[in-house]
Structure 1
Amino acid sequence: MNVSVTDTANPVLQAVMAHTQAENPSAFLAVNEGNSTFTVPGLDGAIVYRRVGRYAVQFGGPFAARDHYDELLGRFLDHIHDEGLRLVGVQLQRDDAEAYARRGFTVNQIGASWAVRIPELTLRGTRFMQLRNKISRAHRNGLTVTEVPAGEWAEALAGIDQVWLASKGEHVRPLEFLVGQVGGPMQPLRRLFLGRIEGRPVGYISYSPVYGARAGWMHDLSRRIPDDSPGLMEAINAHALEQFRQEGVEWLHFGFTPFTGLDQAHEVTGHSPGFQWLMHFLWDQGAALYPAQTQLAYKKKWAADVCFPEYVAFEPHASLAGFIHIFRASNAC
């Protein structure tokens, strides 16, 4: 079989920028370092995944031209089966979900991505009073926010990361795969806003580009020195939001949050009722696994009310093993 499997992000970037029909707001995460890329000469597109144990954990669906999508997916499945692997795909969009279901996968909603239109977002009014107060308090505490080149602040960013991670607990590890990165060859395409108090870096937010009909920026990695000042992240995001507004950016995306936005109407034919129950249970009781309610509350602060359901596909049936391997690929366990 004439295929190419590499660790370079360049073909993925080209595919993500060229093929936005699936409208995956997290598509830029496909260029993360550490991912593997599957391409086939003559087919326009790429598939991104990580091999974890006996699973290939795929990020998103094929980023491919419509008339090459099905063949690329079929060739990828042939390839991983030849390797003795089973596929689990995560953060699939609705079109992907239906395509995988037609191939016999069990497909369920796993959560949603959230976004807001910047021209319609104003922080005036009683709805945003608490948010404005937190932002004002951060600035009263001396916070200044600027957009900076990541390379010039690498040491400071690493210091913030170290303190932030330590505050999460002794055995917590930094997430990968389904979150973005700072640094590396794709950093010039991201944007970084840094908060400082008396010149000391205390927090930052990295934004990744979003392509397609809802083009804009995605609020991605956010890190802060714990307990340094209330309202740090809110003030940094508000500064970036105003910058984007001045530039005429239409959309601010807040990315994927598992276990949120769950709705029976979003499920596809043949979904697993048992896995559907598990997602609702983890929304209610799964904070120890992932703080979905806290994450969604932050996004809702900004009136992020545009919801994009996202899906997980299991081959052939929903399984706890496949679900766990998503967390393994993300360095969460």
Structure 2
Amino acid sequence: MSIGTFAVDGGDTVFGALRAYGDNPSAFLAMNEGKEYFTVAGRHGVIPYRDTGSHLRQSAGVIASHDGQEPLLRAFTEFAAQRRRKVVATRLRRPEAELFSRCGFTVNQAGSSYSVYLPEFRLGAPRLADLRLAVSRAWLAGLQAAEAADEDSAAGPGEEADGRRVFTGRIGDEVVATVTYLPVFGTRPGWLHHTAHRAPGAPRGALEAVGLEAVRVFAAEEAQWLHLGFTPFAELGAQYELATASVLAARLLRLAAERGEWRHATAGRLAHQRIWDPHLVQPGYLAWQGRAAAGALGELLRLAKSP
């Protein structure tokens, strides 16, 4: 078996695999977060990862055809062992969690992800009253929302070229809110809410007003889904656990969700997701090798602090 790993400028090889096999809504984000990509000669597919010194940190699972995922993941764990590293993976959906479980990983539910089906989104729906109120406050304050031109975007150089889209809210000439979205391929194609920034002093509802403009644009383009992202510690339930779950890790995760400081760190994110009355709520998983859960939980805490 010939294996290879290459740096972030892998170009068409990486994004070709993403378009062909990237079914996880966070797959594009994982490509951006990864510093290196793992491949096996003769096999289609890629695993983006980052070497943290003790772990190979992976996100959103294996980007490969269904029958190619398990061989690629097993090769990746062998590669990690050769480098004296353990693999830890976050933002896994149920099918990816089951894959990691089959390959010998400990797997626990670590949160939930939320998605809106755009063809059925109606702002006038009774359950969207809080969203309407938030948006109306921003409008009354004079906020104007639109997709940003390249020169107005808060994204870094070249980011629009990789598919990222940026929407802003302005009051006069001042940008007071910015939301970025990443493309999603696979069985639920559309856009992933990536980052959001609200300037100090911006009116309440500014981010919701910008998000509503993005929904209007995406729906006009006949996009299918708006994925609001994965929230650590959200809606944990014993019914979602796999047979390879750690009982101790499950207790620690629920303790953090109920009492820990991370409950406050993720509360705002969860409130923003729920205000959109998502059509689909899915459990998200954390996977790691071996018994020691400390390193894996550390990765989840890091994720909880990220935008």
| TM-score, length of structure 2 as denominator length | 0.91
Shift in Å, 1:33: 5.5
- Counterpart of 1:227, as a letter, is G
1: distance between equivalents of 2:247 and 2:64? 31
1: distance between equivalents of 2:32 and 2:264? 21
2: distance between equivalents of 1:261 and 1:192? 29
1: distance between equivalents of 2:131 and 2:186? 30
Q: Which residue of 2 aligns with 1:291?
A: 265
- Counterpart of 2:199, as a letter, is I
- Counterpart of 1:190, as a letter, is R
- The gaps in structure 2 that reach 5 residues or longer are none
Q: Which residue of 2 aligns with 1:107?
A: 107
1: distance between equivalents of 2:122 and 2:166? 22
2: distance between equivalents of 1:49 and 1:329? 15
Q: Which residue of 1 aligns with 2:138?
A: 138
CA contact (8 A) 2:262 2:301 kept: no
1: distance between equivalents of 2:221 and 2:60? 29
Q: 1:173-192, aligned counterparts within 5 Å?
A: 182-188=155-161, 189-192=163-166
Shift in Å, 1:303: 0.5
1: distance between equivalents of 2:16 and 2:159? 12
Q: SS of 1:63's equivalent?
A: coil
CA contact (8 A) 1:111 1:259 kept: yes
Shift in Å, 1:106: 0.9
Residue 56 to residue 327, structure 1, CA distance change in 2 (3 Å): farther
Shift in Å, 1:264: 1.8
- Counterpart of 2:156, as a letter, is G
User: Which is worse superposed, 38-47 or 278-287?
Assistant: 278-287
1: distance between equivalents of 2:175 and 2:305? 27
CA contact (8 A) 1:118 1:245 kept: yes
Q: SS of 2:72's equivalent?
A: helix
1: distance between equivalents of 2:305 and 2:287? 20
Q: Which of 234, 254, 260 matches 1:260? A: 234
CA contact (8 A) 1:12 1:47 kept: no
1: distance between equivalents of 2:239 and 2:264? 24
Q: Does 1:317 align with 2:291?
A: yes
Residue 314 to residue 256, structure 1, CA distance change in 2 (3 Å): same
Q: SS of 1:64's equivalent?
A: coil
CA contact (8 A) 2:257 2:263 kept: no
CA contact (8 A) 1:45 1:64 kept: yes
Q: SS of 2:202's equivalent?
A: coil
Q: Percent identity?
A: 34
Q: Which residue of 2 aligns with 1:300?
A: 274
Q: Does 1:225 align with 2:199?
A: yes
CA contact (8 A) 2:34 2:48 kept: no
Shift in Å, 1:239: 1.0
RMSD: 2.2
Q: Which residue of 1 aligns with 2:209?
A: 235
Aligned residues: 303
| TM-score, length of structure 1 as denominator length | 0.84
1: distance between equivalents of 2:227 and 2:6? 29
2: distance between equivalents of 1:33 and 1:185? 15
1: distance between equivalents of 2:43 and 2:55? 24
1: distance between equivalents of 2:43 and 2:126? 53
CA contact (8 A) 1:90 1:311 kept: yes
- The gaps in structure 1 that reach 5 residues or longer are 158-181
